[in-house]
Structure 1
Amino acid sequence: MSDEQLARDVDARCRLTGEFTLRSGQVSSEYFDKYLFESDPALLARVADAMVPLVPEGTGLLGGLELGGVPIATALSARTLLPALFVRKQAKEYGTAKLAEGPDVAGARVTLVEDVITTGGAVRDATRALREAGAVVEVVVCAIDRSPAGEDPLADVGLEVRPVLTKAQLDAARG
């Protein structure tokens, strides 16, 4: 299955038009509802399969960001046999009060897993928090990179973005 076919299928399933306010506060005339591919087992499996070669060698943990990165990290973990870590937007205030559920991150090389990146706000926050906890975080793999072509929205925190699909590929898939 080609990248072009995956882009067509994800685009057809997930692109919505209207007026949407993004997490960043930006207003967009279109929105990629990633939950539509994440809740489709066959399409989620194809995205996870395409993500496998993007995971850097030496990764010890796959850190799925709440909420959209969690199903992708789980599917990717099943394929790579790397342990998954589930990273909250903020540490819970009860029980273990953890930011990340799963194995200890101290000293671990964590590759973050996200669904859609536009400005990278949630990824930036998670990167800083995981680094404070002792993790080595250098790469984020994502299903869709909506940031402007040729820009790394996470360069300010030294994070490389490795997408399965870019906005340009999804736009091209529309024909």
Structure 2
Amino acid sequence: MKVGILVFNEVEVLDFAGPFEVFSLAEALDRTKIFDVKLVGQTMQTLKARNGLQVVPNCSFEDHPPFDIVIIPGGYGAEEIEINNPVVIEWISEQYRSVKILASVCTGAFLLAKAGLLKNRKATTHWMDLDRLENDFEDIEVIRDTKYVDQGKIITSGGISAGINMSFYLIKKLVGVEITKNTARRMEYDIVI
């Protein structure tokens, strides 16, 4: 399965790196990789994530493969910059039409909301931004005190490390408990199955 993770300037590092690590390490019982994970930028230009970490996308909006799963991370870049970028919002809308799962981490939910994809759905985001999501997008049922909310094709998760929990949840949903446990063990990450 192909996983695309959106990256942009001022993206929260663990929002994209956590899911990247989880999906990249997941292996079938015969040790073959299950997921092919790519970082996708609007262009191939080097980006500056939060606190100055430099990130180079693997592919751009113009040349990426078709994805089965797309993950939209958050951070200042999502909630204050990319939310005003019509190219990014349109790309997210296009991905929704073709992927099996579109997931957000943290304030990446604001980009899904801006694209109209959370209308009349339940969703969550970082605890510090729940009120803003509720106030700015009144047609969303905001869920508090949860790591992630599964609405079928769309899944939203809470802040930062919740994206790792959501990624394990997706692996369990897609390929089963045993592979999920093996991946968590390899990462030395405590999960509840």
Q: TM-score, normalised by structure 2?
A: 0.32
Q: TM-score, normalised by structure 1?
A: 0.35
